[in-house]
């Protein structure tokens, strides 16, 4: 009597060839995953790391992403700087007018805002009311000459400071200013009823951007 034998498909010549090809393909695959981490994107487009994410690598990615965003926006982030020329004018009616000209630079020293400094006979923009300075920065820089004790007040994003906010050049993280004195000096300043006088001051201010 002849017995029927079921041959396994894996033992046929064609299947053996397929197995050899499959083994070659497996050998070519990388032994470790190519990516150090993976990111998931939420509905609000905020990226969050998965459970097996290398957090150090994630921070490196975020830093790189921020730098690329800054470059795309046209400025180098870090500590931006303002060089400001301030002019105070005493009119015939003893009312004081305040003006300012400025250069705004990014962390790399590139000029990212140079408003029309030729206004009002070269004195610049009136800062008796808030001056909104736009640039490549994501927020508007606000400048107000009505700060306490005759100081200029600045605001950028969450940062607010005065022209007399002290600091050491090169410090990071907090805004500050380094300003010179008035020319003519305060004791020589006399707002007379029949004379229109001017005095000038310069300052350099630094803030996180």
Question: How far, rounded to the nearest angstrom, does the alpha carbon of residue 196 sit from its chain's CA centroid?
Answer: 41
The total number of structural domains in the chain stands at 1
Under the banding of pLDDT at 50, 70 and 90, the label for residue 64 is very low
Q: What is the pLDDT of residue 94?
A: 66
Q: Is residue 88 domain-resident? A: yes
Q: Is residue 14 domain-resident? A: no
Residue 109, CA distances (Å) to 73, 76, 105, 124, 174 in order: 15, 9, 5, 22, 18
Three-state DSSP at 42 gives coil
Q: Is residue 136 domain-resident? A: yes
Which pTM value belongs to this model? Answer: 0.63
Q: Is residue 17 domain-resident? A: no
Among candidate residues 105, 103, 106, 114, the one with its CA nearest the CA of residue 77:
106
Under the banding of pLDDT at 50, 70 and 90, the label for residue 95 is confident
Q: Is residue 65 domain-resident? A: no
Q: Is residue 87 domain-resident? A: yes
Q: What is the pLDDT of residue 205?
A: 97
Task: Report the relative pairing of strands 197-208 and 79-90 from DSSP bridges.
Answer: antiparallel
Among candidate residues 140, 204, 134, the one with its CA nearest the CA of residue 175:
204
* Residue-range definition of the domain harbouring residue 186: 79-208
Q: Is residue 22 domain-resident? A: no
More confident residue, 130 or 37: 130
pLDDT digits (tens, 9 = 90+) for 128-163: 989 999 999 999 999 999 877 789 999 999 999 999
Residue matched to tokens 């310069």? 202
Q: Is residue 38 domain-resident? A: no
Local structure of residue 95 (DSSP, 8 states): -
Pair of tokens at residue 165:
């906010």
């Amino acid at each position: 009597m002849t017995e029927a034998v079921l041959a396994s498909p894996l033992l046929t010549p064609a299947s053996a060839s397929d197995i050899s090809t499959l083994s070659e393909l497996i050998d070519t695959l990388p032994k470790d995953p190519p990516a150090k981490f993976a990111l998931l994107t939420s509905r609000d487009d905020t990226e969050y790391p998965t459970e097996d994410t290398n957090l150090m690598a994630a921070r490196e990615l975020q830093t790189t992403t921020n730098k690329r965003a800054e470059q795309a926006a046209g400025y180098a982030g870090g500590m931006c700087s303002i060089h400001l020329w301030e002019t105070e004018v005493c009119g015939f009616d003893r009312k004081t007018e305040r003006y300012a000209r400025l250069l705004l630079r990014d962390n790399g020293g590139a000029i990212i805002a140079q408003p029309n400094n030729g206004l009002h006979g070269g004195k610049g923009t009136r800062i008796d009311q808030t001056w909104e300075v736009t640039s490549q920065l994501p927020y508007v820089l606000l400048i107000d000459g009505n700060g306490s004790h005759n100081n200029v007040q600045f605001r950028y994003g969450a940062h607010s400071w005065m022209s007399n906010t002290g600091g050491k050049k090169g410090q990071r993280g907090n805004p500050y200013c380094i300003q010179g004195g008035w020319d003519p000096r305060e004791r020589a300043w006399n707002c007379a009823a029949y004379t229109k006088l001017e005095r000038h001051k310069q300052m350099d201010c630094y803030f996180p951007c």
